Structure formats: structure tokens, C-alpha cells
Structure 1
């Protein structure tokens, strides 16, 4: 029904936007993105229960998250680029059907192999859905409001990610871990109906190309798109910084003087919601041509955050302040990055976001690896020095690229505006 229904709706070409996007539609994109990305992270606080249910070792159950993350990377490389060649609405509806199937299968299966396969599908389709929604929203709005729209939708992604762990823990405590995925499948069914009724087909503006050529064009973008290169490297730095912090935090807080439970530690992620909501405003500044100014201030905030976090062993208040500042700075840069790369490539939003998020994946992986190694050797002080050093490297890199970036970005904005008139 959903796919056939597409043919009875008016098609939305990317060059036919002449009215601002409504607040209701922006809110829908933010909520849908948050729900989609949450599916990828529900498993993190449930691994002990999953291990007991399937009678597998705690070490082996880590494969559940590995399968999900492998699915996420494959989505960025193989599925997200299809949004530049297919009707994004139809593509998302196909993805959400597969996602519902994966969630439902996880809630019922007793086979470890089928569990891992289903988690791969959840990582694949949950990531593809999230990035597809961002690309759809970026294309369906006016160029002069793109930063605000992308910032709001990205805020939904961050909040969905942060709330996913808490929600999963609460449901698992009450009804068991399988109800987390059963409830998620029902939520995605409701979302599928809402998107089917609300969104119109959105045809790609670029010339048709074969699938292998489409994938190869991503490497062409990485090679020649100066804005993508610069903002992608900044993404690598900032997500390495976030991964450095969150990977080591559990080791600090589970030992004296705090000795917190894992549930208590998880609630500190909610503090990041404050920063995420504030960072959504960075998109408005980017729309006003202040993206570089926002980037510089945000990088300075990252440096300040690590000073606050270094004082955490002396008072938990420093941790709260540090988390807010860290998330505010990192998410403000993330929103600004996306606003700039989307403005530079109006006909390649899906491929651009796929390439950009690869920098995110690399940064997160390297940050986690370096963080745990440094903590084992030098403790929390070593982690803070590493985080501050990476933040300083990002600030230095931004300063080196500052002279060439504004002119390139200005020309790209002008081209994007001309393409919509």
C-alpha cells in the first residue's frame, strides 16, 4: 500500500521549493530521525540480559553491537547514496519496512545467529533511515533556512540517541529486553503510516547513473569537494573527542570516590540533551553566514570543557558542567558542518551525508581505542590531556583552513540559491 500510494501524490522536485518549511514538518523530521537512530543503540544497556537469555559469554555478546555498527557503515556506503537516484520517500518506506522486520525478529528469535543477522539489518536500515530523513529535510527546505532545519533535525538525532539507552533500560527492568524491540517495532509502524501520509515523493535532481558509478562518485566527492574535506576532518576530530570522553567515563565513575551504578552513569547522558538543544541554534547562525565564527567559538568551548572535566574527581558538579559544554560545542560544529556541505552540493545530499558520516565513524572508533588505552596507563588525567590535545588539533586545523574556506563556501551558497530560483 505505501509504495503504490506514492504514484497518486504530487512529486516534489528539489528545485521547486518556494515556501518555508512548516514547524510541524520540521518537528516530524526531528522526531522521526530520533526514533530511527534510537534503534541502533537500544542494545547497549541490554547486553547482560541478552547474554543470559542466549547463554553466551559476556565477551561474545559484544558481537551484537559490532553487527549493528557494521550495518551502519554498510548503510553509509551502499544504501544512503541511493537517495540521490531514487524517490527518497519510497526509499525510506522500503527501509522502514525492513527495519520493522528486523526489530520484530529480534524480539522473538532464540537463535544467536539470527539475532546477529537481525541486528545487522537494524544497524543498516536504522542508519539509512536517519540519514535519509536528514537529506530529505535538507532538500525540501529553502536554502536560506537549511541551517535551521538541519540543526533542528540533528537535535532530534542526538536526543534520540541519548534517550535510547535510558528508555531501553527502563523497559527492560519492567518487562524484559525483548519488549524493547517489540515496542520499537510498533513505534516504527506508527511512524511509517505518518510518513506515508505526510511526505510527498521527492525525485532526485541529478542525472541518472548506474549503481556502481553512483558509489564511485562518492570517492570523487571526497577527492574534489573542498568543503566536504575540511568539514569532514572537523567531524573526525569532534567525534573522536566525544568518543574519548564517553568511552573512559564509565571507568572513572564506577570506582571511588563515586562508585556509581551503570544506570546512574547512563543518566549523565541526559545532561547532554541541554547541549544538543542549544546547539540546534547553530544552524540559524550558519544561515546568517556566521558558520566560521560558530566553529571557532565551539572549538574553544571544547577546550574549556576538558578543563572542567579534568576537575571531575574533585566534584561531580564539574562533570555536569563539562558534559553540557562538551556536547554544546561538538553538536554546534556538527550542525554547522552539515549546513555547509549541504549548501555546497544541492544535488548530492545523500552521497554527501554518507561521505561525511564516514569521517564520524572513523573518529569515533579511533577515539574509543585511544581513550581506553590512555586510561589504563595514565588514568583520567591522561584521558583529559588526550581530549584537550585533540580539541587543540581541531582548532589548529580549522585555523589553517580558515583563509580558503570562506570564499569556497560563499560561492557554494550562491550556486545553491541560483539552483532554486
Structure 2
């Protein structure tokens, strides 16, 4: 089934490249994530084991200790900093496979050097760890299979939710990068990334001042102080940011361009399930290229059923050569809109090499439960998929605040 695209009316979504919904029924409305416990996310590892249920790594020795980190109302980076403090090690020695929402209950795997230990008693309220054994290596993003979500929407129309769920099960939705990649309620990460890549000191200072995370002792405050010093320019200013934070911020610009490429393709009538010779397709955690028309026909059937997915490169200096035909035209348009050229992309820093990403997001095992004045959605997304992109298909709100509990003040950091 082909997606039934509907333009968004949200100014915020347009700013980050989310120009379309992939479902035709009207939105169900409501407010999501009113409280952190309204959004539960649990990492999934092969073959299909939830982090919260993991009992043991079955290794009695190794270079690293593995823990299940459970948190509520905290960012992953804040939790990692607290783990490092408790273990008396550098925060860089804490590894995790993915960043989880702040306004949520989350369960994920973290690893630390085997010589160190952590106990929940040494951690702030809202952060707990459970030791599960040793590992021969640090946890890596590639090991994560996906995430299971359970999300409560208060005040939504259950009838419309059921209609939208049926359509999503049949056709999936555009695999946009979600709101968290850019910043909420304003896309501050995207603004900072633009300023850094354009070496615009004034824009950088303005963007950081707009950050909702800027406090007197935050990374953002350090950048502002260095900007005021005026010595060393933008390079010295952004060196106040930890490398991991800087990479996340810079990659938000790639995410924006990817979103725009998807939107341009959709606007041009591109069929996201029809495979052509030369198309890159993801199937069972592998990437394959359709070499012949026979390959393309076989892969088209798999893409139409959600078993496989057509891929679009994330714009970067190493992926430009992968853009061909309609994809190349869409990228050229997105770059022109941003005032960029292919030559500019080739000069991007090392963090912006680019990658391959599925163009369609399929929420698997999608279930809907109606509970008094609320609706609870449960589903599984493969690694890299954003629950907020599924959520927006159900709610279709023009107010970004509705996806974040009306931006009710969080209970924790």
C-alpha cells in the first residue's frame, strides 16, 4: 500500500524538515508524556531480549562490567555523569548504545571498566543500576537491535487512534529523524550546528542563549564565556563541548537535510516501496543493492510488506556518491535551500561522514489499549527509529508542546 501523504501545519516541524504526515485520517489529538511514566522505553538485544529482563551476560570475567541502567526524568548524559562520579572514573569510560528520552522511564545497557563498580545506593533519586555480568568489550550502538515503547496519550480519540494504527500497520511512515535530534521546544541543536558549520559567531551565541539547557554551569555557558573572550574564534568556543555532545549537535544538521530529502522525494511522488536497479535496500540487518530488474521486483514485494526497506543516504562527505537519479535531484534541492553546494559537504568535519538509513519506518507489534480517558500505544522500532515520529502520525498536533506533556516542568534533571 502506498502512503497517503498529508502536509503538516506545524511551523516547528517545517523548520526541521518534517513536511508531511504519512497517514490520511485526521489526528487523534491529546497530550503525550504528561508524566515521565507515560513514556516507557526498553532496549532490545538479539535475539529479542529486553534490557529490563536481561539477567546475565554469562561471563564470569572480562575487561568490562555490564549494568542495566534504569532512569526516570533524567537525560542519558546526566545519568552517565552520575555513574562516572559513583565509580570514580571519567565519563568517557561509560558507554551506552543509545540516548534515551529525559521525560521517560528507560532501561538500557551500560558498560564500565571491570576495575570499577557502581551501586544504586551511590546514585541520585531516579537512577538505578543492576549488575548483570562481564563483557569482553564496551557496548556499541551496532549491538542494539531496537527499542520497545509503551506510550500513554491523554485525551485522544480512541476511534481515530484505531484508524491510524490500521494504516500504519499496512504502510508504515516516513522514517524522519525525530524532535529529540534537534531540540525542543526550539530546534536549538540545528541552529548551533548551522552556526558552527558556517563559522558564524553571532549566530552561535544567539542559538546557545536560546537553549533551554543553558545554566550558569552548563556546557552552553562555557561556550558563551569563550565567545565573549573573542580569542581563538569559533573553534576554541566549541572546544568547551565534550566530543560526544559536539557530534550529536553537528549531526542534527545532517538529520535536517535527510528529512528534507525525504520530504522532497515525497512531494515529487516518489514510491518508497518500489525498488529499481541500483537501489540500496535494508533487509534483516543487511544492506543489499538491487542489481537486476529481477532483484528489484523481488525486493519490491519485501518492501511493500515491511520485511525490507528502501534506503536513502544521510548526507555526508562519504555518501554523496550514493545519490543517483531522483535521490540526487532531491539532495541538490535540499542543499540549494540551505545555501550549500556539494563542495561544501565535502569539506565537512570528520563527524559528518554520513551513513545509510531506511526511508520507511515500520512500527512492529503495534497494539492499542483504551484506558478511561487515555490511550496506550505499544510497539517496537528497529535501531534508529524515533517513537516521536510514530506519535506524530497518531496525534497530528500543530503544537510541539503536546508531544512533551505540554512542556510541563520535568520532575528531575
- The structure where strand makes up a greater share of residues is 2
Choose between structure 1 and 2: higher helix proportion: 1
